[in-house]
Amino acid sequence: MRRYPERVKTEIRYAIATQVPAELLVLFTVDQSLGAGSATPAVFPLTEAQTLHTSVGEILTSGEFKSAANETLLIHAPAGLACKRLLLVGVGKAAAEGTGKGPSVAALRRAAGTAARFARARGSKDLAIALPQTAVEGTDAEVARAIVEGVLIADFDPDTYKSDRRDLSLSTLTLFASERVDQAAVSAALAEGVILGEAQNFARTLVNEPGNVLTPTVLGDRAAAMCKQHGLKCHVYSTDKLKSLKMGAFLGVTQGTYEPPALIVMEYEPHGGVPAGSPVLGLVGKGITFDTGGISIKPAEGMEKMKYDMAGGAAMIGAMQAIAQLKPNVRVLGIVCAAENMPSGRAYKPGDVLTAMSGKTIEVINTDAEGRLVLADGLHYAKTLGATHLIDAATLTGAVAIALGLHNAGAFSNDDATWDHFAGVLDRAGEPFWRLPLGDEYREQIRSHIADLMNTGGRYGGAITAAMFLKEFAGDTPWIHLDIAGLAWIDDARPWIAKGPSGVGVRSITEWVRSYSA
């Protein structure tokens, strides 16, 4: 039933844009009008003179195409260009009002995705894109990488279970650049873009799978297969191991289901090793393959979406795939705590007290606050395996989407230096994370009268109190927590990405890891 497309073949060629004989050539355009001004859009990488000598010039001076972000215009047999069809894709304003900043690399990643989805929808299999150069902020290499990522991300649809599925996937992507670019840097960037885009799509395939297919055991199998293919060590443990490690919090969550849990441990070791005392990065993902809420059961409406409650775990598995290929010079442990949260005669209940691996006791107030319980043991376990720095990703709270809406994921940290590493890679990764507070004043909300902690913190600041809970288990270890509940699933298709799993987190986590490469 599952049919995944062949990987897109990508290559870079050096040619002048007007002379590219492609079936479909994409050129990006930038709106040069300031405020109410009406200058015509610039078409990159064409010069103004080149633009005027092609059919593009006439269309642009007509004012019909404004070059708004992701606006498209298809021209057949354009005069003055060697391509058969030309697709113009807007990237937005040359200088956003007040900021003086031009379109970002992220805007270009989306525009490239828009081009790819435009082509797919019309049955085009071969896409040629001219590197815009100077149109956006960022180097040629950064732009090339973003274009490749944008195209690969766009080339994904979640309809793998449709019997009459049409395979729209692209066969080739050819990037055309001037031979004056730093060719070594641009071709390395192209390779990186492929690695990141494929890793993100791998995470999305996992998230897309329904709960009856992707059980914790199957998630473990998929992770192990990826590790085998990419030369990572991998162990997948289950109930016995959880018991011997005394993972009482994780065990509490999983006790209501017939599906065995999976504790997935992936290891990346740089070739030739690293000196003693080097950092060891621990990546910990929430892998709830289906979250019914348990005894504190969720309402029926929308419950089907809770198959995506393993998106944090999928992000870690995707990131480990990218890390295996990019080979940073730092040790990395990837841990996914996979379980199903079900109500049953043997399920854990509100009022139960669980003893976590760290020894801390937890009063269960709501069995639907299960993610923090499995992560409590995952974070502690990562420390016992030697992690010196931790990052976790989880679809942890609905509250994070209430706080930040659907355009930023929540991020938290107990250590400013570690946060700086993360903040420093966000531009390059192009994913929106917004830091939220984690002060001790919030600790009171999760204080229990009979145990060390409660697993919920009441009505206010739900994303923060969930993070405060995790902070107890990160302890003194520098740690970042990513709450991706609002972004891991896209409810409405956009011009550059399908409705469904987003794969958010893969690129930022991978880049964070690379920032520690010695």
Q: Is 511 in the site for Zn ion (CB under 5 A)?
A: no
Burial 156-178 (b: 16+ CB within 10 A, else e): bbbeeeeeeeeebbbeebbbbbe
Which residue do the tokens 């473990």 mark?
A: 220
Closest CA to 210 of 353, 302, 307, 332: 307
- Closest contact distance (angstroms) between CB of 394 and Mn ion is 10
Q: Give 227 or 288: the residue with its C-beta nearer to Zn ion.
A: 288
Q: Specify which residues 282 forms β-bridges with.
A: 333, 390
The option from ligand BES, Zn ion, Mn ion, none interacting with 462 (CB < 5 to 8 A, set by class) reads ligand BES
Distance CA 162, CA 486 (A): 26
Measured from the CB atom, the residue of 323 and 404 that comes closer to ligand BES is 404
Kindly tell me which residue out of 309, 340, 363, 511 binds ligand BES, with binding defined by CB under 6 A: 309
Which of Mn ion, ligand BES, Zn ion, none is residue 397 near (CB under 5 to 8 Å by kind)? ligand BES
Chain residue whose CB lies nearest ligand BES = 398
Q: Which residues of 92-111 are buried (b: 16+ CB within 10 A; e: fewer)?
A: bbbbeeeeeebbbbbbbbbb
Site membership for Mn ion, residue 511 (CB under 5 A): no
Active-site residue identified among 85, 372, 383, 471: 372
Name the residue among 161, 147, 109 with its Cα closest to residue 494: 109
- Binding at 366: pick from Zn ion, ligand BES, Mn ion, none (beta carbon under 5-8 Å per type): ligand BES
Q: Return the residue of 285, 371, 462, 478 that touches Zn ion, per CB under 5 A.
A: 371
Closest CA to 495 of 41, 149, 42, 117: 117
CA distance 451 to 493: 45
Contacts of 363 (CB under 8 A, 6+ apart): 351, 352, 353, 448, 449, 450, 451, 453, 454, 455
Among residues 291, 363, 392, 472, the one that binds ligand BES under rule CB under 6 A: 291
Residue range at the interface with ligand BES (CB under 6 A); choices 52-60, 112-120, 352-360, 366-374: 366-374
Upstream peptide bond of 45 is cis (omega within 30 degrees of 0) = yes
For Mn ion, the nearest residue by Cβ is 368
The three-point CA angle 498-336-277 to 5° equals 120
Query: Which residues, 372 to 401, sit near ligand BES by CB under 6 A?
Result: 395, 397-399
Quick one: 233 or 349, whose CB is closer to ligand BES? 349
Q: Does 309 bind Zn ion (CB under 5 A)?
A: yes
User: Do the Cβ atoms of 135 and 101 come closer than 8 Å?
Assistant: no
User: What pairing do the DSSP bridges indicate for beta strands 42-44 and 24-31?
Assistant: antiparallel
Q: Is 120 among the residues known to form the active site?
A: no
Binds Mn ion by CB under 5 A, chosen from 140, 291, 363, 377: 291
Q: Is 433 left (phi over 0), alpha (psi -120 to 50) or beta?
A: beta
Number of residues that this document lists for the chain? 518
Taking the complex as a whole, the smallest distance from the CB of residue 371 to Zn ion amounts, in Å, to 4
Q: Is 371 in the site for ligand BES (CB under 6 A)?
A: yes
Instruction: Return the H-helix or E-strand segment holding 217.
Output: helix 216-230
Q: Does 92 bind ligand BES (CB under 6 A)?
A: no
CA distance 157 to 165: 10
Quick one: which of 282, 329, 290 has its CA closest to 311?
Answer: 290
435 is known as an active-site residue: no
232 vs 464 by CB, closer to ligand BES: 464
Q: Which partner in Mn ion, Zn ion, ligand BES, none is near 132 (CB below 5 to 8 A by kind)?
A: none
Nearest Cα to Cα of residue 285 among 308, 316, 263, 319: 316
CB 396, min distance to Zn ion, A: 7
368 part of the interface to Mn ion, by CB under 5 A: yes
Cβ proximity to ligand BES: between 54 and 254 the closer is 254
Q: How far is the CB of 370 from Zn ion (least distance, A)?
A: 6
Query: Binding segment for ligand BES among 217-225, 253-261, 331-339, 369-377 (CB under 6 A)?
Result: 369-377
| Residue (107 or 484) nearer to ligand BES, CB | 484
Whole-angstrom distance, CA of residue 451 vs CA of residue 314 = 32
Query: Is residue 462 part of the contact set for ligand BES (CB under 6 A)?
Result: yes
Binding to ligand BES by residue 456, rule CB under 6 A? yes
485 scored as a contact of ligand BES (CB under 6 A)? yes
Q: Based on CB atoms, which residue is closest to ligand BES, 456 or 508?
A: 456
First to last CA, the chain: 44
Q: Is-contact 413 470, C-beta < 8 A?
A: no
For residues 154 and 146, give the distance between their C-alpha atoms in angstroms, rounded to a whole number.
12
Catalytic residue among 241, 246, 298, 435: 298
Q: How far is the CB of 376 from ligand BES (least distance, A)?
A: 13
Q: Which of 369, 426, 454, 467 binds ligand BES (CB under 6 A)?
A: 369
Is residue 505 a contact point for ligand BES (CB under 6 A)? no
Q: Give the interface with Zn ion as residue ranges (CB under 5 A).
A: 288, 291, 309, 371
- Catalytically active residues are 298, 372
| Interacting residues with ligand BES (CB under 6 A) | 291, 309, 366, 368-371, 395, 397-399, 456, 462, 485
* Chain residues in the site for Mn ion (CB under 5 A): 291, 368, 370
